[in-house]
Amino acid sequence: MNDPKYHLDTLAIHAGQPPDPVTGAIMTPIYQTSTYVQAAPAEHKGYEYSRTDNPTRTALQECVAALEGGQYGLAFASGLAAIDTIMRLFNPGDHVIVGNDVYGGTYRLFERVYRRYGLTFSWVDLADLDSVRAAIRPETRLLWLETPTNPMMRLADIAGLVETVRGHPILVAVDSTFCSPAIQQPLRLGADIVMHSSTKYLGGHSDAVGGVIALNNEEIYTQLKFLQNAVGAVPGPMDCFLVLRGLKTLGVRIERHSQNALQIAQFLEDHPAVQQVIYPGLESHPQYALARQQMRFPGGMISILLDTPEAGRRMVTRTKLFALAESLGGVESLIEHPYSMTHASTATSDIAVPKTLVRLSVGIENVEDLLNDLREALS
């Protein structure tokens, strides 16, 4: 079922999810249990306690690993819990290079939590490989990147960055939340760890919060597996089931998200009220060539710049189908104002986002309905 000969669309439906051996149930059961009966003390080889392992979580972990082309998968209670667990691989004094345009919660975790534990961070423009090279120190242990970034939609050249840090004891971890493995598979480009907020495209239905990691290195997997149990930020079986359920349609959803988003990006690019559209599927994107090379689809996320912050406020409160909400990647379209919403924690920092920026998460509704909604909101 996990055979890499299968295409992603097939793995999404079958990997880690053989029919239930007891009943033949085709859907993975929700093993809503905290503990497991053992035959004899200390000899048990199977499941023991659900923080350590749970069969519904195992199915999700195996499925995610297969989709990313990884040997190992791990699931967590949220995307941030997954990032937090990765950060616990490191020690006081270790240095991290991180893109200067990241998810606000990642910035907050690094600067407001991990800095207190003696980690240091350099925030650099990852599109400029020379500045990455210049940021490397003897104590650098991690390069953390998002691509495309949230919300500025800048791309990082994963293979190029892997090459840039080669020969140094630096792990490359990619937050691939904006893409999902249907668009890019960072492990195949040489990254050590890929991470997702499964709250977004993997779950895809705005009904569960979760995070996942996939990787190939057995030693790092063993450490992360230890930390997953030792720290304990695990998802419950119901949430694992919901993400597994969502994953089955990942391929068709991403294709439709991308088709809708491309049409909407083209419409917005021609609209007089819109100053700039930032979307990897448009030729006007400064890294369009890299997007073509690295991404199978341009994805469902679009950022636009309007003339004034007031115009942005007006737009996000006037759409009817595009709901004003944080988060992204669900079947329903969302719109938001990053400066005051998702990225408020960076507002006073060096990496603040423009006040005139509006971010769209394009859903899989009928595209004409979505276009009309935006046309009316901008009129």
Ligand X SMILES: *Cc1c(COP(=O)(O)O)cnc(C)c1O
Catalytic residue positions, numbered = 51, 103, 175, 200
**Interactions with ligand X, residue window 99-138 (CB under 6 A):** 103, 105-106
28 binds ligand X (CB under 6 A): no
Q: Which of 84, 111, 146, 239 binds ligand X (CB under 6 A)?
A: 146
User: CB-wise, 114 or 178, nearer to ligand X?
Assistant: 178
85 binds ligand X (CB under 6 A): no
For residue 158, which amino acid is it? I
Residue 340, CB-side half-sphere exposure with 13 Å CA sphere: 13
Least distance in angstroms from the C-beta of 173 to ligand X: 12
Q: Which residue is nearest to ligand X (CB)?
A: 79
User: CB-wise, 201 or 297, nearer to ligand X?
Assistant: 201
User: CB-wise, 16 or 329, nearer to ligand X?
Assistant: 329
User: CB-wise, 287 or 378, nearer to ligand X?
Assistant: 287
For residue 105, which amino acid is it? G
Cα three-residue angle 91-93-98, rounded to 5 degrees: 85
End-to-end CA distance of the chain: 51
Residues in the interface with ligand X (CB under 6 A) total 16
CA distance 224 to 42: 23
- Beta carbons within 8 Å of 50's beta carbon, 6+ residues apart: 31, 33, 34, 35, 57, 234, 237
CA distance 273 to 43: 69
150 binds ligand X (CB under 6 A): yes
Q: Which residues of 219-253 are buried (b: 16+ CB within 10 A; e: fewer)?
A: ebbeebbebbeeeebbbbbebbbbbbbbbbbbbeb
Contact, 141 vs 96, CB < 8 A?
Answer: yes
Least distance in angstroms from the C-beta of 194 to ligand X: 12
175 binds ligand X (CB under 6 A): yes
CA distance 149 to 379: 29
Nearest alpha-carbon partner for 355 in 313, 292, 297: 313
Least distance in angstroms from the C-beta of 193 to ligand X: 14
User: CB-wise, 281 or 338, nearer to ligand X?
Assistant: 338
**Interactions with ligand X, residue window 234-293 (CB under 6 A):** none
**Interactions with ligand X, residue window 180-209 (CB under 6 A):** 197, 199-200, 209
Sketch the per residue contact string, 54 through 83, with ligand X: x for CB under 6 A, - otherwise: ------------------------xxx---
Identify which range of 1-9, 172-180, 242-250, 288-296 contacts ligand X by CB under 6 A. Answer: 172-180
CA distance 209 to 222: 24
Measured CA to CA in angstroms, residue 242 lies from 29, 217, 259, 283, 375 at distances of 11, 28, 25, 36, 34
154 binds ligand X (CB under 6 A): no
Q: Which of 28, 177, 185, 356 binds ligand X (CB under 6 A)?
A: 177
User: CB-wise, 151 or 274, nearer to ligand X?
Assistant: 151
* Residue tagged 């369009």 (tokens): 288
211 binds ligand X (CB under 6 A): yes
Instruction: Name the residues that contact ligand X, by CB under 6 A.
Output: 78-80, 103, 105-106, 146, 150, 175, 177-178, 197, 199-200, 209, 211
